[in-house]
């Protein structure tokens, strides 16, 4: 094994590419101004010289490919760091960075306590399953909790089949809430009691039961999470946001329009943050 062929070592090719990147000359990289209000604009400019090289050298402003000499304007809603980098196929070099601070002192927040979010969801799920003769809620019914960026819903059920068997099934739905109020359901599943399958194996109907459970999971979880729950939660957030931003707009002496900027979900609350345009 030769030098540079082991773990963490530079190959001869990578070293040549790194040497080429080190010959880049940065003449200018500026951001003006370095502090703006929300929705304020910053002007970026850069000028660098690339060496003669057999390797293709790419320049990026954050994730965007740019020319070695150029300028750009960006509107900001939060403090942002702009990085200028150069790269070849096997090496990269950070040329510089500029951080532009966003003054959000005119933004306003409204906190919704966790109970005001979790209780309506619990009631909705409990009512759905209490009205069915084929399902029985276990214990205290649906459990709804908040976590960082998430709403977790657990529904413990007993499936009733008269004169045959009862089976335990737990439905779990996790909703992800984006920073601007988008809602998705990245984790939806149903866990069925294993003892239930084992007891039926001797009857030769294990496959039938498992297929049936899969169908129940598909019908209920797909319908509840995708068709009903996600749109309902997104609409509820949008409704609360509209009430909040309308109130701020009406109360603003300059009659500026306030818009929702961030939705922050924590274990104790949902916080809406709105800023003037």
Specify the number of domains making up the chain. Answer: 2
Query: pLDDT category, 209, cuts 50, 70, 90?
Result: very low
Last residue of a domain, one of 103, 127, 147: 103
What average pLDDT is seen over the chain?
85
Q: Are residues 70 and 159 in the same domain?
A: no
pTM: 0.73
pLDDT in tens, 127-147: 877 766 677 788 889 999 999
Residue 3 counted as domain residue: no
Residue 122 counted as domain residue: yes
Query: pLDDT category, 204, cuts 50, 70, 90?
Result: very low
Alpha-carbon radius of gyration of the chain: 28
- Of residues 169 and 53, more confidently modeled: 53
206, 197 contact by CB (below 8 A): yes
Residue 255 counted as domain residue: no
Tell me, what's the pLDDT at 132? 64
Span 248-256, average pLDDT? 94
Residue 145 counted as domain residue: yes
Q: Are residues 33 and 143 in the same domain?
A: no
Query: pLDDT category, 2, cuts 50, 70, 90?
Result: very low
Q: Are residues 209 and 225 in the same domain?
A: yes
Helices 194-201, 206-221: axis angle to 10 degrees equals 150
Tell me, what's the pLDDT at 10? 61
Q: Are residues 98 and 118 in the same domain?
A: no
User: Would you put residue 159 in left (φ > 0), alpha (ψ -120 to 50) or beta?
Assistant: beta
**Domain of 44, in residue numbers:** 12-103
Range with lowest mean pLDDT among 61-65, 112-116, 158-162, 216-220: 216-220
Q: Are residues 32 and 159 in the same domain?
A: no
Q: Are residues 123 and 199 in the same domain?
A: yes
Residue 139 counted as domain residue: yes
Q: Are residues 118 and 212 in the same domain?
A: yes
- Burial string for 55-77 (b: 16+ CB within 10 Å, else e) reads bebebebeeeebeeeeeeebebb
196, 168 contact by CB (below 8 A): yes
Q: Are residues 133 and 200 in the same domain?
A: yes
Q: Are residues 93 and 186 in the same domain?
A: no
């Amino acid at each position: 094994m030769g030098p540079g062929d082991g773990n963490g070592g530079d190959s001869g090719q990578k070293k040549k590419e790194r040497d080429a990147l080190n010959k880049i000359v940065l003449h200018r990289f500026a951001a003006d101004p370095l502090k703006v209000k929300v929705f304020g604009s910053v002007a970026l400019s850069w000028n660098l010289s690339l060496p003669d090289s057999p390797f293709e050298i790419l320049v990026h402003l954050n994730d965007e490919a740019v020319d070695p000499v150029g300028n750009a304007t960006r509107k900001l809603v939060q403090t942002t760091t702009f990085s200028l980098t150069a790269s070849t196929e096997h090496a990269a070099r950070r040329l510089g960075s500029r951080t532009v601070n966003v003054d959000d002192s005119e933004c306003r927040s409204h906190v919704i306590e966790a109970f005001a979010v979790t209780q309506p969801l619990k009631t909705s799920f409990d009512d759905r399953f209490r009205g069915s003769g084929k399902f029985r809620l276990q214990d205290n019914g649906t459990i709804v909790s908040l976590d960082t960026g998430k709403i977790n819903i657990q529904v413990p059920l007993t499936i009733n089949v008269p004169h045959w068997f009862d089976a335990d099934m737990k439905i779990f739905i996790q909703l992800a809430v984006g920073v601007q109020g988008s809602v998705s359901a990245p984790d939806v599943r149903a866990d069925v009691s294993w003892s239930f399958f084992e007891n039926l194996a001797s009857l030769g109907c294990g496959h039938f039961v498992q297929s049936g459970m899969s169908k129940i999971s598909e019908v209920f979880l797909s319908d509840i999470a995708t068709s009903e729950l996600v749109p309902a939660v997104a609409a509820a957030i949008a409704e609360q946001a509209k009430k909040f931003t309308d109130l701020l707009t009406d109360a603003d002496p300059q009659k500026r329009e306030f818009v929702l900027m961030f939705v922050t979900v924590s274990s104790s609350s949902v916080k809406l943050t709105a800023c003037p345009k």
